[in-house]
A and B are shown apart, each in its own frame.
Chain A
Amino acid sequence: MSFAEAIAAAVRLLSAWDPQVVSAAAVSLRVSLLATLLATLLGVPVGFWVAARDFHGRRVVALALKTLTAFPTVVVGLLTYTLLSRRGPFGALGLLYTQTAMVIGETILVAPLMAALTMAIVGGADPRIEETALTLGASRLGAALTVLAEMRRGIFAAVVTGFGRLVSELGVALMVGGNILESTRTMTTAIALETSKGEFALGFALGLILLALALVVNVGVAALTPR
């Protein structure tokens, strides 16, 4: 099959709402969005805490977070696998090869990134924001939320960056998801599988969706953040 033929076949699959394509896209989106949400809820407070509060060992934590940002996805996959596999500490839960397992692994993957990005954003924030909030009667928590709200542009960009990393991620999805059709098969695991089978059309179709998704997300970011 030539390149042009593969692209043409991909477009046919997309326009016909091919069930395999739709299912893989839906699984990808659901897992990535949920993991992004969890990683945001975990990473943003930690990042804020490291950037804005003085405590013993703060620099070590900051360094650890930055290092974890470069965590290879297969290593996170391996880690999550050993935690969830039958003989692992959480094996009894029977989560391996489920979407839940993928969400857990991907949250572990991207939470340090969210924390590190938040750390950089809050570290670069005008220190007068928190102080102004305090002098206007906000609690410490209220002042912290005000800093995040003032830096919403950066935080939002961090969330989108996290989502982008997850939706295009292969290692964790493959290792703890297992690439089960219509259950844990995502766009990236499907592309990997179909390519190995020599079925380029489905791979290209999913690749086009991923590209379109990247475009939509970036247009969305631009539209939502004035100035």
Chain B
Amino acid sequence: MAAPAYRLRDVRVDFGGQRVLDIEALDVLPGRVTALVGPNGAGKTTLLRVLALLVPPIAGSVEFNAQPLPARPRDLGRLRQQVTLVAQAPLLFRRSVRANIGYGLRARGRPADGRIDAALAQVGLPGFADRPAWKLSGGESQRVALARALAIDPLVYLFDEPTANVDREHVGIVEEVITKLAAAGKAVVLTTHDLDQAYRLGDSVLSLIGGRITAAPLVNVLRGATSRIDDESYFESDGLRIEIADGSLPRVIAIDPQHIIVSREPLQSSARNRFAGTIVKVEQDGAGIVVTVDCGRPLVARITRHSYEELQLNIGTPVWMTFKSSAVHVLSE
């Protein structure tokens, strides 16, 4: 296996006395797409900025291509030329599209040749080179920013919400570009709010919560309020009342889809949470099956192909969803 593009150990970043990033260990591999998911303020963008060598961590070690980061700003600048970051709301310079895309090439003293037109063609904007960048729509700007990154051909691509401002019909173009970059051996890290996209593009999907990488899967995320009745904590959201384990009072929870049991009949078990619903969606996901069940609000469960076939599940099948309070992750209190 290729050496990691990045190796982060115990990396911490503070802003204004607040810890915003606390990464115990993270390896970013070349030829792979690493997708970062998590709620707003989880530290996704900060992590990208650390990887872009814009924000120095206050503690911990960052290795780039198996080398520790240099201390001298000049050397760091040279290293930064091997990375590029496409921001969520990218800024285009007040120049032509051509000057924008040529910027990184000029910074490296490389000739533009046909790179500018090629990059524009890749993002579906051929013939845009001589337009003034400030007259583009938001979606076009985002794609020009992508082309600007493609033109410089670095080792690492960092994308912050790459399709957030792209119109629906062009999302496919952007996703294809990202997939091709990884196939060409680039290390790609992207953040997204779209879990489907994270799993569709990501070779690995990392959840970031409160600046930490967590094991909590970010599906079945429910917002609501917790109340205590007879020493038990109940979380209520969308008409569902879910018993939760510890004495915390969460406002946002996630239920691990691996730990939801799907059955035809109500289960006799110690699991306290049990909801009836009907299957509204069935998808294959690697070796398993993901079923979405409408229990008043949709809940997603991941089951084995074997139990899927045994239970003879289909869209419209009435089922029971059962899970223990330990399957509930507290995301935010």
Contact = CB atoms under 8 A, between A and B. Distances in A.
A133 B85 contact: no
A137 B108 contact: yes
B103 interface: yes
Which 10 pairs from chain A and chain B are nearest by CB?
A136-B104, A128-B91, A137-B81, A137-B107, A135-B85, A138-B107, A132-B91, A137-B104, A139-B77, A136-B103
A134 B103 CA distance: 11
Contacts of B93: 129, 132, 146, 149-150
Which of B73, B74, B94, B149: most chain A Cβ within 10 A? B94
A154 to B, nearest CB: 12
A135 B80 contact: yes
B90 interface: yes
The range of chain B's interface size is 20 to 34
Interface string B54-98: 100000000000000000011001001101110101110110000
A184 to B, nearest CB: 42
B114 to A, nearest CB: 19
Contacts of A199: none
B91 A134 contact: no
A140 B94 CA distance: 19
Contact of B152 (A132, A133, A136): A136
B87 A132 contact: yes
B84 A135 contact: yes
Contacts of A138: 103, 107
B52 interface: yes
5 contacts: A128-B90, A135-B87, A137-B81, A137-B152, A142-B107
Contacts of B7: none
B148 interface: yes
Nearest to B77: A139
Nearest to A128: B91
Interface string B281-321: 00000000000000000000000000000000000000000
A146 B102 CA distance: 13
Nearest to B84: A135
B148 A140 contact: no
Contacts of A134: 54, 77, 80
Contact of A131 (B54, B77, B108, B149): B54
A126 interface: yes
Contacts of B148: 136
A225 to B, nearest CB: 11
Nearest to A146: B93
Contacts of A149: 93
Contact of B107 (A126, A128, A136, A150): A136
Given A134-B80, A136-B103, A137-B84, A129 B91 contact: yes
Given A129-B91, A136-B152, 9 more contacts: A126-B91, A132-B87, A134-B80, A135-B52, A135-B84, A137-B152, A138-B107, A139-B74, A140-B73
Contacts of B80: 134-135, 137
B143 to A, nearest CB: 16
Interface string A135-171: 1111110100010011000000000000000000000
Interface in A109-142: 126, 128-129, 131-140, 142
Contact of A150 (B85, B90, B94, B104): B94
A149 B108 CA distance: 18
A17 B29 CA distance: 76
A136 B103 CA distance: 7
A128 B85 CA distance: 12
A131 to B, nearest CB: 6
Contacts of A133: 103, 107
Nearest to B49: A131
A179 B83 CA distance: 60
Interface in B94-146: 94, 103-104, 107-108
A136 B149 CA distance: 7
A3 B198 CA distance: 81
A139 B77 CA distance: 6
